[in-house]
């Protein structure tokens, strides 16, 4: 497992714990539920599930040719988690006391999270290939090797 995949998994576990703590707080102080419910759900779905899926996908799907994309992995990690952390910090305050600055921060957080998902989709579409594409890549490689052999003669 490479470093960024490791960070995705670690972030995923952090958000799982965070979502569980928020769920526990709902029982201790039911009045907080209205302010923290969305953060609880978002931490569980985006924080835990998306980070886990993205980390495992980047780790287990390096095809074709063991393709690694550390720049895209880092960009996905930073935008997704930056947007999520911004949301988790700002949303409870916005629900308690709506303010234009908090609204703008929530819009930015949504754009960052969307950007992280878009980067992930772009990276995965380069990695996921059909059998037909693999055969085509194999034929191209064999043609290059054959062409290289004829040049050396």
Which pLDDT tens digit goes with each residue over 8-17? 999 999 999 9
Task: Give this prediction's pTM.
Answer: 0.81
- Cα distances (angstroms) measured from residue 19 to each of 47, 71, 88, 97, 104: 9, 29, 11, 23, 24
Cα separation, 141 vs 121, whole angstroms: 26
- Tens of pLDDT, residue by residue over 74-124, are 999 999 999 999 999 999 999 999 999 999 999 999 999 999 999 999 999
Q: Could you tell me the residue range of the domain that residue 84 belongs to?
A: 3-152
DSSP one-letter code for 63 = T
Number of domains in the chain: 1
pLDDT tens-digit series, residues 139-151: 888 888 888 755 4
**How many Cα atoms are found within 13 Å in the side-chain-facing hemisphere of 43?**
22
């Amino acid at each position: 497992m490479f470093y960024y995949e490791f960070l995705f998994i670690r972030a995923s576990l952090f958000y799982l714990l965070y979502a569980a703590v928020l769920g526990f707080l709902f029982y201790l102080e039911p009045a907080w539920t209205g302010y923290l419910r969305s953060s609880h759900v978002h931490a569980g779905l985006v924080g835990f599930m998306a980070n886990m899926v993205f980390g495992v996908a980047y780790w287990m799907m390096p095809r074709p040719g063991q393709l690694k994309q550390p720049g895209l992995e880092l960009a996905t990690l930073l935008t997704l988690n930056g947007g999520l952390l911004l949301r988790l910090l700002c949303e409870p305050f916005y629900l308690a006391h709506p303010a234009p600055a908090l609204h703008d921060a929530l819009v930015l957080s949504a754009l960052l999270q969307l950007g992280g998902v878009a980067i992930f989709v772009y990276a995965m579409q380069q990695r996921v290939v059909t059998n037909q594409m693999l055969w085509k890549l194999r034929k191209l490689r064999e043609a290059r090797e054959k062409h290289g052999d004829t040049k050396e003669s």
